[in-house]
């Protein structure tokens, strides 16, 4: 079991490092910037329907807020899955059946 976890950790690290190594000096931009560029190329006189209510003071703060949003979402999903698993285990315990007896 321990070797399996170490292999999985190494694979995750490789998945993060290999793209950065292969595309060393590439600019990793977001889809929003690419969409804005495509729109201005096809229709230079286009005006957006909506503007942001608040613009973060820097790109670092914008990245921080995005990472915080992702962390909160992942935390919620993890909590929900753990809650549902514990709820199912408690239900099975009260009915007196074990995991092997479940269909």
pLDDT at position 102 over 70: no
Percentage, residues of the chain above pLDDT 90: 40
Question: Which range among 11-20, 39-48, 75-84, 93-102 has the greatest average pLDDT?
Answer: 75-84
pLDDT band at 101 (very low <50, low <70, confident <90, very high): low
Look at residue 20 in the predicted model and tell me its pLDDT. Answer: 80
Contacts of 49 (CB under 8 A, 6+ apart): none
Interior/surface letters 27-39, b for 16+ CB within 10 angstroms, e for the rest: eeeeeeeeeeeee
Which of the 8 DSSP states describes residue 52?
-
pLDDT band at 23 (very low <50, low <70, confident <90, very high): confident
Domain that holds residue 81: 2-101
Q: Please tell me the total count of domains within the chain.
A: 1
């Amino acid at each position: 079991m321990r070797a399996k976890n170490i292999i999985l950790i190494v694979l995750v690290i490789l998945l993060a490092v290999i793209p950065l190594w292969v595309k060393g000096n590439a600019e990793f931009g977001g889809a929003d910037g690419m969409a804005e560029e495509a729109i201005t190329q096809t229709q230079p006189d286009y005006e957006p329907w909506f503007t942001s209510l608040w613009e973060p003071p820097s790109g670092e703060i914008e990245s921080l807020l995005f990472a915080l949003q992702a962390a909160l979402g992942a935390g919620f999903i993890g909590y929900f899955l753990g809650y549902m698993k514990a709820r199912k285990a408690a239900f099975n315990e009260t009915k007196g059946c074990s995991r092997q007896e479940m269909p």
